[in-house]
Amino acid sequence: MLDYLIIGSGLAGISFSEIALKNNKTILVIDDQSQNSSNVAAGLYNPVILKRFSEVWDAKRQLVLMNDFYNQVEDKLNHKFIFKMPVLRKFFSIEEQNNWFAASDKINLEPFLSTKLISKKFNGIDSPYNYGEVLHTGYVNTSLLLEKYKEYLIENNLLIEETFDSNCIKFLDLGIQYKDVRAKHIIFAEGFGLHKNPFFNYLPLDGTKGELFIIKAPNLNLDVIVNTSVFILPLGENLFKVGATYNWHDKTPGPTEEGKKELLERIKEIITCDFEILKHFAGIRPTVADRRPLVGTHEAHKNLHILNGLGTRGVMLGPSLAKILFNHIEHGDPIDLEADIKRFHKRYLKSLISHQP
């Protein structure tokens, strides 16, 4: 009998897979690649929500676990995935500068916001009010990470590429059976696919569509990540990833003309040089209204667990939450109340009532 059957091989799924394997547990992953938010994600990690000048939930611990996790995966797969790179917030006024300095005086933000203005000039970007630097930032090449981890799973016969069918679950005394597979636990890490999950679809996963570009801009001299109304991430060879939009209503998976127009308008507010769009892509982020993840165990089926709701910060949240869920299952450790799905107990009860004949 397997220890874990893991549904989904995005950032959440591979984070749990790796932590389970590191602890000598047996796993099998099922994924049909229908969810692509991890693949198209910017991969940025940043401990500060710059729009509101607030610390990312549990940021300090997440950063430590994140660095350890990706360094270990790099060694295991012999590829480089995580890159340290400064994030500079471009200021558009003296007032924005003052807001930055006021935020940097807050105890929880002091470790993450530099109090020194960055006056460096980058060809292709006007910055009369300079920049503020966020510390402990960078990005993870998520598409390469998922590609190489998938190759690893396939090489070790740990991946089944098919659509998971919840109707095939049979509950046993000591676990579950799914078709011809027996396992002690199932981990649902399906991202936006949660809506088709009959065990956890009572949870308020909203989903937020994001659209991004890969652009070529030979005259844009940039070796840092610039964050304003969009981010600009240098990829090398005059290529840049630029994004992202936030659409709470459109749940279609592909890019749109509306998103393209919005991104173009924002880019032209920042970049003064010519650029060419090489790629336009989109994905639906698994977001939750209260901006907290969805982690925990089903109230009636103690062999079913969820790791979801990573939102826009999957590269930071994935390793941390996977470890929390693993320790909860294996050792009974409590899950932080802000992340535990128990906070939606009333919604669970309502779902039971609505499904009664």
Other Cβ atoms less than 10 A from the Cβ of 254: the count is 12
Nearest Cα to 235, choosing from 92, 70, 85, 103? Answer: 85
Alpha carbons 289 and 68: distance in angstroms, whole number: 30
Q: Is the confidence at residue 8, as pLDDT, over 90?
A: yes
Percentage of the chain exceeding pLDDT 90: 85
Rg (C-alpha) for the chain, rounded Å, is 21
pLDDT value, residue 34 = 77
pLDDT at residue 39 in the model: 67
CA-based nearest residue to 150, from 288, 17, 268, 323 = 17
Structure tokens at 212: 């991004």
Q: How far apart are CA 327 and CA 331, in angstroms?
A: 5
**Strand-pair category, 27-30 with 44-45:** unpaired
Are the C-beta atoms of residues 201 and 194 closer than 8 Å to each other?
yes
By CB atoms closer than 10 A (0-12, 13-18, 19+), residue 278 is exposed
Mean pLDDT of 175-193: 96
Question: Which stretches does DSSP call E strand in 50-111?
Answer: 54-55, 82-84, 87-90
Looking at every residue in the chain, the average pLDDT score rounds to 93
**pLDDT tier, 357 (very low <50, low <70, confident <90, very high otherwise):** very low
- C-alpha distances (whole Å) from 99 to each of 115, 132, 247, 310 are 11, 11, 27, 28
Each residue of 187-230: pLDDT tens digit? 999 999 999 999 999 999 988 999 999 999 999 999 999 999 89
Each residue's pLDDT tens digit, 72-100: 999 999 999 999 999 999 999 999 999 99
Average of per-residue pLDDT across 144-163: 96
| Beta-strand relationship, 294-297 and 304-308 | antiparallel
The percent of residues above 70 in pLDDT, for the chain, comes to 98
Whether residue 274 is predicted with pLDDT greater than 90 in this model: the reply is yes
Q: Mean pLDDT throughout 282-306?
A: 94
Q: Give 296's DSSP letter.
A: E
Q: What is the pLDDT of residue 38?
A: 73
Q: Residue range 338-343: average pLDDT?
A: 96
pLDDT in tens, 23-39: 999 999 999 987 767 76
What domains sit in the chain, N to C, each tagged with a CATH number?
2-41+143-204+289-354 (3.50.50.60), 86-136+208-285 (3.30.9.10)
Long-range contacts of 152-155 (CB under 8 A, 24+ apart): 152/76, 152/77, 153/9, 153/17, 153/29
State both tokens at 317: 């949240």
Amino acid at 31: D
Amino acid at 357: P
Other Cβ atoms within 10 Å of 71 Cβ, number: 12
Q: How far is CA 268 from the centre of its chain?
A: 27
What confidence score (pLDDT) does residue 263 get?
Answer: 95
The Cα 224–Cα 159 span in angstroms is: 37
